[in-house]
Structure 1
Amino acid sequence: MRILFLFTFFTLLLDQVSKWGVVQVLDLKSVHEIDVLPPFVNFRMAWNDGVNFGLGGGGHIAKYILIALALGISAWVFVWVWRERPNRIGMASAGLLIGGALGNVIDRVLYGAVADFLNMSCCGFENPYSFNVADIAIFAGAIGLILFTGGKKGG
């Protein structure tokens, strides 16, 4: 379980520090765009009040539903890995997912929406969407849970 807590903590910390640095220190909330390594990596401010790509957003009630959903899924994943005790990779994956979900919950509570700022484009394709460290962690954690859990008990 120690691995779960470490991955949760450091994922949450990296997510919130990166958002604070980009949104507050670099003032992306006012500047809106900063080219980092164009066209591959850019900072593009987007306030996401929905789920992926802003779907399902748009309202005060939706914000609380999404907060409750993220907290519920995080609690369910925690109970599941506590009972099943998957291997280290499974525990790390659960920590990534929970830490990312909690990072986005913090954004919804503080800002009313999730702070998305990473934008990647390439080869003539201009990606209109932005994401954040929490989104990466949630995706990686979910894939890890799918691939590396199911039957074996361990660390």
Structure 2
Amino acid sequence: MSRDEARAGRLANRRVLAVAVVVLILDQLTKRLAVEAVPRGTSEQFLPLIDLVHVRNEGVAFSSFAGQPWIVGLLVVAALAALTWWFLRNRTVRFAWLAAGMLAGGAIGNVLDRIIEGAVIDFLKPPNWPAFNLADMAIVGGMALLVIVVELENRRTTAGQRHDARPQRG
């Protein structure tokens, strides 16, 4: 590994950590504000088509595996391990740090809720959709960005391989 690659890797590590910490702090802060503003089980209009609620989710996406904390824990640990493995192998890929930081910060925010509260605090509720929180938004946004980052990197590598495979004229 060259000096520049090592430096880029360290910078990516710092960036992913910074994004994860910012997401975690904002997530925990907004959850505390929502818990103080809205009594559990009630709802208040916040924005058009978004209500503030105070609900607890013991499962993962759409309350899957509610009441089975060991499965939820195993899924979260597996997802974070896979993310860490992928990031360490791809940390110099453009914006990989942002996607990984958003995913890690969101996952850790919801894990912290499970440890402290016994369930994830959800507080944003659009019509005909389950309630969610800032950590959930970071996870969804991070996943979307991860798909884009991987696809763009695959296209870049494939284009480079096609260019290298062309016969040289000389």
Q: TM-score over 0.5 for the alignment?
A: yes
Partner of 1:123: none
Partner of 2:27: 15
Q: What is the CA-CA distance between 1:119 and the residue it aligns to?
A: 1.2
Give the structure, 1 or 2, with the largest relative contact order (CA under 8 Å, sep 6 or more).
Answer: 1
Partner of 1:101: 107
TM-score, with length taken from structure 2: 0.75
Number of residue pairs matched by the alignment: 142
Determine helix, strand or coil for the equivalent of 2:95.
helix
Partner of 2:148: 147
Determine helix, strand or coil for the equivalent of 2:40.
helix
Q: Find the structure with the greater CA-based Rg.
A: 2
The answer on 1:70 being equivalent to 2:76 is yes
Equivalent pairs: percent with the same residue?
33
Kindly indicate which of the two structures has a greater share of residues assigned to helix.
2
Q: 1:82 to 1:50 in 2, by over 3 A?
A: same
Aligned counterpart for 2:45 among listed residues 31, 35, 55 = 35
Q: 1:104 to 1:64 in 2, by over 3 A?
A: same
CA offsets 1:35-55 (integer angstroms, 9 cap, x no match): 112x42211222111122212
Q: What is the CA-CA distance between 1:84 and the residue it aligns to?
A: 1.9
Partner of 2:9: none
TM-score, with length taken from structure 1: 0.82
RMSD: 2.0
